[in-house]
Amino acid sequence: MRCLIVEDYAPLRGNIEECLREEGFAVDASATGDEGLWYARNHPYDVILLDIMLPNVDGLTILKKLREIQDKTPVMILSARDTVEHRVEGLNAGADDYLVKPFALSELVARVRALLRRSYSHESAVLRIGDMTIDCASKTVSRSGENIPLTRREYSLLEYLAYRAGQAVSRTDIWEHVYEDHSGGSSNAVDVYIGYLRKKLNAGGRADLIHTRRGYGYTLAVEGS
Amino acid sequence: MRRPSIRLRLLAGTGVFVTLVLLLANAAIYRSIERTLRKEVRLQLLQSAWLLAKSAELEATGISYEWHVALASSHTQGISGLFEFTDLNTGRKMGSPDLKGEHLPLFYGNLDERVFRNITLADGKKAQAIGLYHHPFLDDEGREEMERAGKILNPEDFPQVVVVARETESLDRRLAEMRGHLAKGAFATLIATWAVIIWVASWSLRPIQELTSRLLKRSTEEESPVPDIPASLPVELNGLAQAFNTALSRAEASRSREREFARHAAHELRTPVAGIQSTLEQAIHRPRSSEDLSERIAAALVLTQGMRNTLNSLMRLARLRGGLEQVSAVSFDPAAILRDQLIANEAKAAQRDLVIDNQVPVSLPALSSDAGLFSVLVINLIENAVRYAPPGTTVQVGAQDTPTSFSFWTRNERGELRAEDRERLFEPFQRGTVAADSEGGHAGLGLSLSREISNLLKGRLEMKFEDERTVTFAVTLPR
């Protein structure tokens, strides 16, 4: 999952960035409003964390501009403004959540995950595809009750596919939402990680849940469903 | 506390005034009419008395009262009322038939002197009377007759008094009726005046009620514009309404500044706390090496120091604004303070590829002011210039001394600074387009503090756009 942080206070920005990376997110960060708006307009994000008081362009303006162009990316406002009026103003401007500073990073991560679930229409933090269970809170994967250890990148890739289970997901999409850089990526790198995943998930002769859709990409689903 | 009412004041004021005017006017009218009527009565009495006096003729046989002859012609000659003749020599009285044998009081003055009196008639009625002491009438014909009769009489030997009276109760009744009419008229006029005043007052005050309701409605919509003055508001109240609107606008501007201050203060204090909290959370989130932990704790300490700087600046600003900052006057070398700060900022200027053009004279006369506050001014302005000047440009710092003042300035390229930001930049927590940093020394309080300090030192801090490229911050202090 790719996340954009627009926060001018470097220490906080750095900590959120580090925390989300540790949670398996691909993260972009910006210190100013105009740069943040550019990022948001030019890259697909699964969630945007947005401060309000920013240099050059304030957060609410960024939010309004995004909603004007029908960008439905979930946005969480991170603000020191704590009154009901300010929260209402932020939510009315199109924010999906509002978190008042100071906050616990664990709460931030939980809210980000809740936004993602809502965004991908999942009700629970536990995703089930066939005999596979993915616990997004503990970042653990199991098949038929047997735990499958994954690297951070493998887990991120599987989680992204799981959120879009049943859909054909292109390699470009996977690259943009799972990997850190915006270079356009290498389809080979995606294929390599898909290969790693398949190997771990299908160990012991289990059914392959990742299906290659020629010309489209990959779909995570139970065969025939 | 009971508030004065315009309506009641108008009613009371005009009530008293109109009542007084009506009373005086009615009294004057009444007195004039009464005088005229009573004068008329007196004139009639006098006229009657004179005519009757003429009717007492002296003949050779004595006094002959020919009043009945006079009375017969009284329609044209004006004899009216009751009368009675008295012969002072004999005491004989001759009264008019209407007296019906009763007598009138006898009173008189000197010869031909008219004497008026208010009397009571026998039937108990009030009357006015005239008493006229006179001599009987003697004409040439009577004198010839006396000569023929050989008996010459002298009128002076036959003193006579005629008293004529006229009942005045009917006149008094008419006057009483007139008083009643006048009082009723005055009362009706007063009521009508009050009714008109009440109507005019309500009519005139209605726009105030309209303005009041607009203002009340406005008080619930703080962000909306100040309401227009109703066109129907009396011109006399326009000034008050304008002054109220001005006061309201000022109060709201002040409140808006307060809100802005609170908003920024919350941001500047909560954000570092969030930074400290997230740094410490990250530190304990997973097992880390002692070096990593030390780095994170050190980072949290830097943030804490930054918060302390911000809080110190805020406290100082609060003290300055609250008049709690004590100003001491000592003699110090301003050039030395300026030079020290230029040296202190050399490294940061070099980092930003800035050239510092030191135009501070090598020596300046000592300045008698608060050295501590002066240093804060110098630090804020030089640090601001070094922080905000576009990289690769020059920052000029200069000073000038005159017999009456001392001034120093910083001048650098203005970058994105706009003239319309001039006032906003002096508000607390304004950082221009620069992001917040972890040191907290640049929370955007520097210019607010500097302006407050300049004012406290009885000087001024000005922001000047002297050409299209540069911005100058100049502090002038009195000598």
- Per-residue pLDDT tens over the stretch B23-34: 899 899 999 999
Q: How many CA atoms lie within 13 A of A102 on its CB side?
A: 18
Which neighbouring-strand residues pair with A135? Answer: A126, A140
Contacts of B277 in chain A (CB under 8 A): 102-105
Q: Confirm whether the ipTM is greater than 0.85.
A: no
A100: closest chain B residue by CA: B270
Top-confidence residue, B221 or B366: B366
Q: What is the pLDDT of residue A159?
A: 92
- Indicate the SS3 state at residue B130: strand
Tell me if chain B has a CB within 8 Å of the CB of A53: yes
Span A166-171, mean pLDDT? 89
- String of DSSP letters for A76-127: EEEES--SHHHHHHHHHTT-SEEEESS--HHHHHHHHHHHHHHHTT--SSEE
From B244, B216, B247, select the one nearest B229 (Cα to Cα). B244
Query: What pLDDT, in 10s, does the model give residues B148-197?
Result: 888 888 999 999 999 999 999 989 999 999 999 988 988 898 888 888 88
Q: And the tokens for B389?
A: 């000047």
Size of the A and B interface in Cβ pairs below 8 Å: 87
The separation between CA B439 and the C-alpha centre of its own chain, rounded to angstroms, equals 56
A13: closest chain B residue by CA: B275
Contacts of B431 in chain A (CB under 8 A): 55
Top-confidence residue, A111 or B265: A111
Q: Identify the residue among A9, A30, A32 best suited for mutation to test binding to B, counting B beta carbons within 10 A and taking the highest.
A: A9
Contacts of B279 in chain A (CB under 8 A): 11, 15
Top-confidence residue, B341 or B75: B341
* Close Cβ partners of B266 (under 8 Å, ≥ 6 residues apart): A80, A81, A82
Tell me if chain B has a CB within 8 Å of the CB of A35: no
Band (pLDDT 50/70/90 cuts) for residue B438 is very low
Query: What pLDDT, in 10s, does the model give residues A210-224?
Result: 998 888 889 998 876
Span B288-297, mean pLDDT? 92
Inspect the interface and report whether the beta carbons of A53 and B435 lie closer than 8 Å: no
What percentage of chain A reaches a pLDDT higher than 70? 96
Tell me if chain A has a CB within 8 Å of the CB of B275: yes
Give the minimum alpha-carbon distance from B286 to chain A in angstroms, rounded to a whole number. Answer: 10
Tell me if chain B has a CB within 8 Å of the CB of A32: yes
Q: What is the pLDDT of residue B222?
A: 65
B193: alpha, beta or left? (left if phi > 0; alpha if psi -120 to 50): alpha
Give the minimum alpha-carbon distance from A2 to chain B in angstroms, rounded to a whole number. Answer: 20
Angle B339-B340-B344 from CA coordinates, rounded to 5°: 115
Q: Decide: residue B168, CB within 10 A, 0-12 exposed, 13-18 middle, 19+ buried.
A: buried
* Per-residue pLDDT at B267 exceeds 80: no
Angle B266-B271-B276 from CA coordinates, rounded to 5°: 135
Query: What pLDDT, in 10s, does the model give residues A21-70?
Result: 988 899 999 999 999 999 999 998 999 999 998 888 999 999 999 999 99
B300: closest chain A residue by CA: A11
Inspect the interface and report whether the beta carbons of A101 and B273 lie closer than 8 Å: yes
Inspect the interface and report whether the beta carbons of B267 and A81 lie closer than 8 Å: yes
* Torsion, Cα of A60, A64, A70, A72 (10° steps): 20
* Per-residue pLDDT at B440 exceeds 60: no
Q: How far is CA B422 from CA B374, B417, B419, B446, B447, in A?
A: 22, 9, 5, 14, 11
Tell me if chain B has a CB within 8 Å of the CB of A109: no
CB-CB: which of B267, B285, B299 is closest to A11?
B299
